[in-house]
Homo-oligomer: A and B are copies of this chain.
Amino acid sequence: MTGEIRVIPLRGIAELEEDDDLAALLVSASGRVGGFEPYDVVVIAQKAVSKVEGRVVDLSEIEPSPRARELAAGEDPRRIEVILHESREIIRTRPPLVIAETQHGFVCASAGVDASNAKGRDTLILLPVDPDASARRLRDRIHELTGIDVGVIVSDSFGRAWRRGTTDVALGVSGIVALRDLKGERDSMGYELHATEIAIADEMAGAAQLVMGKTDGIPAAIVRGLTAAGDGHGSDLVMPRERDLFR
């Protein structure tokens, strides 16, 4: 029986630098709220992860290609050049908006390349190279430091087709199920449920966003009270190209 869930912000994590021990900072921050517990899911904003992984580029070092200049349409073509580099395919453009499929297969604005919160106006933050590996490393390090087995989600704010506003989704996942498959289960009236994969890791990422905010320097939160332990991956949440009706 599912009980109550708590979503607990992790405060007091200062501005991050490359090679910071993010897991140690999360453990320290968790101390202010009583520490981690088994089955906690720790949701961490992608930007925090990217910063400690050095996924920051200096715009002054970027030479835009002709295609980037063409797509830029008045925007900084160096930023477009970085987006192109991070992309496997450009899905739609309407300047200044570029919707791209990243090298990982995520479809999102600007291939996840983001300027806000970077160290100076002339840097861009890229998505982690392998968000599932990032999540796993953080999970392993938290276990090393505390002996506690938590789940980890590396989250980011994505726009959606047909709906306004962003919601946070799970790019990388470790130690939990990402998709809950209800196929074969029966609802309360006894009917078999169809089309019932629930993207619980995305819902957890969205729940965490509600306490993290974008402006108040809270890069992480604990989601507590779910029993979601498992071996899921953020890549489970990416629609395979051959099943995708919206390319």
A interface residues, Cβ below 8 angstroms from B: 1-9, 15, 33, 92, 94, 97, 99, 106-107, 109, 115-119, 121, 157, 159-169, 178-180, 182, 185-189, 191-200, 202-204, 206-207, 209-211, 213-218, 226, 236-239, 244-246
Contact = CB atoms under 8 A, between A and B. Distances in A.
A133 B115 CA distance: 40
A6 B211 CA distance: 11
Given A4-B6, A167-B198, 5 more contacts: A2-B216, A109-B195, A116-B189, A116-B193, A165-B199
B167 A206 contact: yes
Contact of A167 (B8, B166, B167, B210): B167
Contacts of A206: 167, 202-203, 206-207
Nearest to A180: B165
Interface SS of A by simple majority: loop
Contact of A239 (B115, B118, B162, B188): B162
Nearest to A168: B203
Contact of A198 (B165, B191, B246): B165
A237 B5 contact: no
Given A164-B199, A195-B109, A202-B165, A117 B237 contact: no
A169 B164 contact: no
A172 to B, nearest CB: 14
Contact of A4 (B3, B9, B107, B214): B9
User: For A107, A168, A206, which residue has the most chain B Cβ atoms within 10 angstroms?
Assistant: A206
Contacts of A169: 163
B167 A203 contact: yes
9 contacts: A3-B9, A4-B211, A121-B191, A165-B202, A168-B203, A187-B214, A200-B210, A203-B206, A203-B209
A157 to B, nearest CB: 7
A215 B195 CA distance: 13
